Amino acid sequence: MILQKYKIVFGGTIGAGKTEAIKSLSEVDVVSTEAINTDEQAHSKVLTTVGIDYGEILLEDDVVIGLYGTPGQDRFDFIWPVICKGAIGAVILIDHSRKGALDDLKFYYDSFSEYVSNIIVGITHVDEDSSQLLKKYRDWMAIQNCIMPVFAVDARKRNDVLLMVESLIARAEIEHG
């Protein structure tokens, strides 16, 4: 059987769990481009992605999915279209504990929808702020007339991330037959 390679991109806010999601799902050692975070105003985490993170997951029939993580800071937005080229879709992760989480969703949705049409949203850090959970994101999507799945996820949990990836793949199969 010929090995087919597909690509899924993880984008979203700094500290939302993009690198962690790839690590929790990847079946190969993750290539990580984390460096010391110098933008403590954006997030207080010690390390942050400054290039492209990469992992892989093997699906049935020997289908390999490449998992590509983008840097979350908008100063690196020049690399997003390069990473998204040829992707079957994107998972946008939003840190629910941030005060501007809805603004973050709008920014990353607007940005990534220029490069991919198939988008899934994962809301992370819901344990840190349980107010409204997913309602405010679904309400925003309804107002924007966006139809995309939104999940509350823990990026450290393989099954949470796998559910989003499977949903993204199912949407791609529907879209492309």
Tokens of 21: 């999601």
CA angle 139, 132, 74 (to 5 degrees): 70
Average pLDDT over residues 70-78: 81
Q: Give per-residue pLDDT as tens, 95-126.
A: 998 889 999 999 999 999 999 999 999 999 98
Instruction: Grade residue 90 by pLDDT with cuts at 50, 70 and 90.
Output: very high
Average pLDDT over residues 149-172: 95
> What pLDDT score was predicted for residue 175?
80
Strand ranges for the chain from DSSP E: 5-12, 34-36, 47-49, 53-59, 63-69, 89-95, 119-124, 150-152
Q: Give per-residue pLDDT as tens, 25-49.
A: 999 998 877 666 455 555 555 555 5
- In this structure, the number of other CB atoms found within 10 A of the CB of residue 21 comes to 31
Average pLDDT over residues 16-30: 93
Element (H, E) at 136: helix 135-144
Tokens of 104: 């973050």
Q: Is the pLDDT of residue 164 over 50?
A: yes
The CATH classification of domain 5-176, taken from the options 3.40.50.300, 1.20.1250.20, 3.30.565.10, 1.10.760.10: 3.40.50.300
- CA–CA gap between residue 65 and residue 117 (Å, rounded): 18
Instruction: Grade residue 68 by pLDDT with cuts at 50, 70 and 90.
Output: very high
Tokens of 120: 């899934």
Q: Is the pLDDT of residue 84 over 50?
A: yes
More confident residue, 175 or 56: 56
Nearest to 100 by CA among 11, 39, 13: 13
Q: Domain residue spans in the chain?
A: 5-176
Neighbour-count burial of 64, counting CB atoms closer than 10 A to its CB (0-12 exposed, 13-18 middle, 19+ buried): middle
124 beta partners: 95
151 beta partners: 122
